């Protein structure tokens, strides 16, 4: 495989140059193959919030136009959150790379929290926004942070190897900026990255690929305007298998309608008729 990542605005996808095929990303696999129970409640809540916040405007519209506005209201909130997350990730990447940045006021609290995380855990980043991929299972992904961090001297971390300076080396961390914290599917996402076979330092240059290093620890940093939390995440072989199962479920769902054929027409005309006699019905 020779992977390149194509970008169009906030969206991106992956192409295998050897075959020209579009290769699914880890997050796409999870979107297509895992039930999103939390999104059902979120969708209802977001729609209700939009109605309350825009009540006066909605009352001026015709019922059909009002309905259309309500149906699209939740997507405005989703797009706003996605844009914020993308901007925070980009700012974090530039800060980790040692660049000086001008931070918009809207996301400054998030960026401040990101910087606190980097400072307090003394992050030594080796790869940021690197592409990883599996030739065996043909999936791709873009990790957030791969590097070394200084974890506290606590019993739960005693099994982790440390260098001479006390750092745990080769950790894999995903950064989240949502309001609800770290969801369980993050374990499958990190497992997909962890058990990929190759890492590609430059997303646009397949020649920068090399064998995926062994990962010592996996976690997620939940970045909020009021601070952050670094949370351990179990992302082992079992979670990797679950990711592959989710992919199979997603593939089934995409082609499920094709498994259902057209109604079967009877080969002969019906010889039966209903006859009403008195109050009884008979053939």
Residues 202-228 have pLDDT tens digits of 888 899 999 999 999 999 999 999 999
Read off the pLDDT of residues 15-65 as tens digits, 9 standing for 90 and up: 999 899 999 999 999 999 987 776 677 677 778 888 888 888 888 888 888
**What are the structural domain ranges in the chain?**
3-37+105-253
Residue 199 CB partners (closer than 8 Å, separation 6+): 127, 130, 131, 132, 143, 146, 209, 210, 211, 212, 213
| pLDDT value at 81 more than 70 | no
Give yes or no for residue 173 having a pLDDT over 80.
yes
CATH 3.90.320 fits 3-37+105-253, yes or no: yes
User: Given CA atoms 113, 117, 123, 127 in this order, what sign does their dihedral have?
Assistant: negative
Question: What pLDDT was estimated at residue 282?
Answer: 53
The tens digit of pLDDT for each residue in 93-123 reads 787 777 777 888 888 899 899 999 999 999 9
């Amino acid at each position: 495989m020779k992977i390149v990542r194509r970008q169009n605005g906030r969206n991106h996808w992956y192409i295998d140059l050897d075959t020209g095929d579009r290769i699914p990303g880890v997050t796409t696999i999870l979107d297509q193959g895992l039930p999103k129970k939390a999104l059902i409640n979120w969708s209802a809540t977001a729609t209700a919030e939009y109605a309350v916040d825009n009540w006066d405007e909605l009352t001026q519209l015709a019922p059909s136009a009002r309905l259309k506005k309500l149906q699209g209201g939740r997507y405005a909130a989703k797009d706003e959150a996605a844009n914020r997350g993308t901007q925070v990730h980009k700012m974090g990447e530039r800060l980790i790379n040692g660049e000086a940045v001008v931070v918009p006021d809207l996301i400054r609290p998030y960026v401040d929290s990101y910087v606190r995380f980097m400072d307090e855990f003394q992050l030594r980043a080796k790869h940021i926004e690197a592409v990883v991929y599996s030739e065996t299972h043909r999936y791709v992904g873009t990790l957030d942070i791969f590097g070394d961090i200084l974890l506290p001297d606590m019993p739960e971390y005693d099994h982790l190897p440390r260098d001479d300076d006390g750092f745990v080396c080769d950790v894999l961390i995903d950064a989240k900026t949502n309001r609800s914290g770290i969801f369980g599917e993050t374990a499958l996402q990190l497992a997909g990255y962890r058990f990929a076979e190759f890492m590609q330092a430059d997303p646009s240059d397949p020649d920068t690929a090399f064998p995926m290093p062994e990962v010592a620890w996996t976690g997620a940093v939940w970045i909020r305007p009021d601070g952050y939390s670094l949370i351990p995440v179990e992302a082992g072989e079992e979670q990797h298998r679950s990711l592959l199962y989710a992919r199979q479920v997603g593939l089934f769902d995409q082609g499920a309608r094709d498994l259902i054929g057209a109604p079967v027409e009877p080969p002969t005309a019906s010889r039966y008729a209903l006859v009403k006699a008195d109050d009884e019905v008979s053939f």
